[in-house]
Chain A
Amino acid sequence: MRTLPTMLRKELLETWRTYRFLILAVVFLIFALMSPLIAKLTPDIMKMSFGKSLGIQLPKPTSVDSWTQFYKNIGQMGIFVVAIMFSGTMSQELGKGTLVNLVTKGLPRWVVVCSKYISLLLQWVVILTASFLVTWGYTAYYFPDHKTPHIFLGFLPLLVFGMFFLAVILFGSTLARNSYSGLLFTILVMGVLYLVNLFKAAQNYNPVTLIGDNMAITQGTKTLVKIAPGMAVAVAAAVLLVIGAVAVLNRQKL
């Protein structure tokens, strides 16, 4: 049990030295800064490009537009960058054989998987919370209205989705021999989930709903209870995937 904190420290050090944490933090912060900016500037850009020929009166941007941008950026581009950055987390070590020494000296394999998962989760929570706070601050400053009452409730599903998504990445990375096939696995899973989302009956159970319904919850048109099944499925799937990753690694030749 004492090996887990040690391995966790190794993982955190690794993510720092390989610049993964830095890149993700910068990218997410830029997304967070862009969201209120794009929301504010869209009408101006339209006016500049169309001039007076634009007949309709454009509605003034509100905090709703700002948060819509935020969830669109993070939910599409953001998680893709996360997948690219972390797809090699296990497969690189398997490919290079850096785990051989540790495991033959008696390091349990589940410690490897768990330390990696905890380090991924920590990074996700820190980076996402930071970018959320940035968008929150700027949105409150530039859009002082009350159209988005449930900001925290809308944010919670995104955090939970990370639990699921990182478990998918870790499992795919454990299966794969290089980071590209790990990435492919993650993309396939997301593709399947988006396909499942076409069926209305399954929507509230689908983890994808956690990155799709944030705006509805933030505005108060949908309650968090409605997507609670999706959250439960996401958490359960995350636990199963981590256990699965341990099982796969146990059979894997290092």
Chain B
Amino acid sequence: MNNNWQLLIKYLPIFIPIIILELALMITALIHVLRHPHYRFGNKVLWIIIVVVFQIIGPIVYFAFGRGDDSRG
């Protein structure tokens, strides 16, 4: 266990930006899911779960395939 902590601290300069980027992507997608309740398929709960649970992939899938038409709301 001790060894793992050493690794974590040694590579903190990489881990911190990765975590920040993942969180930024997740939060952007989450806000979009909540504000635009029309989706091409699925419902709000499904997309919230996808966006939060699947880091990086979830928000990409949502913006690429799940997002509804902007003109409808």
Chain A contacts to B: CB under 8 angstroms: 18-20, 22-23, 26-27, 29-30, 33-34, 36-37, 40-41, 44, 81, 84-85, 138, 141
- Minimum C-beta distance from A118 to chain B (A): 23
Q: How far is the CA of A19 from the CA of B63 in the complex (A)?
A: 8
Seed contacts A19-B32, A37-B18, A84-B64; 6 additional CB < 8 Å A-B pairs: A20-B63, A22-B28, A26-B24, A33-B17, A37-B14, A138-B14
- In the complex, the answer to whether A81 meets B14 with C-beta atoms within 8 Å is no
Given contacts A23-B60, A36-B14, contact A30 B28 (CB under 8 A): no
Contacts of A29 in B (CB 8 A): 17, 21
- In the complex, the answer to whether B21 meets A26 with C-beta atoms within 8 Å is yes
Q: How far is the CA of A30 from the CA of B13 in the complex (A)?
A: 13
Would you give 17 A-B contacts (Cβ < 8 Å), ordered by A?
A18-B70, A19-B63, A22-B28, A26-B21, A26-B24, A26-B25, A27-B56, A30-B18, A30-B21, A30-B22, A33-B14, A33-B21, A37-B11, A37-B14, A37-B18, A84-B60, A85-B64
Contacts of A23 in B (CB 8 A): 25, 59-60, 63
7 closest Cβ contacts across the A-B interface? A37-B14, A26-B25, A26-B21, A33-B18, A84-B64, A19-B63, A33-B14
Q: Indicate which residue in A27, A40, A44, A141 contacts B60 across the interface (CB closer than 8 Å).
A: A27
Contacts of A138 in B (CB 8 A): 13-14
Q: Indicate which residue in A26, A33, A36, A44 contacts B7 across the interface (CB closer than 8 Å).
A: A44
Closest to A22 in B: B28
Contacts of B24 in A (CB 8 A): 26
Q: Indicate which residue in A19, A30, A84 contacts B56 across the interface (CB closer than 8 Å).
A: A30
- In the complex, the answer to whether A41 meets B64 with C-beta atoms within 8 Å is no
- In the complex, the answer to whether A41 meets B56 with C-beta atoms within 8 Å is no
B window 39-73: CB within 8 A of A: 56, 59-60, 63-64, 70
Q: How far is the CA of A34 from the CA of B21 in the complex (A)?
A: 12
Closest to A141 in B: B13
Contacts of A84 in B (CB 8 A): 60, 64
- Minimum C-beta distance from A32 to chain B (A): 10
Q: Indicate which residue in B18, B21, B60, B70 contacts A81 across the interface (CB closer than 8 Å).
A: B60
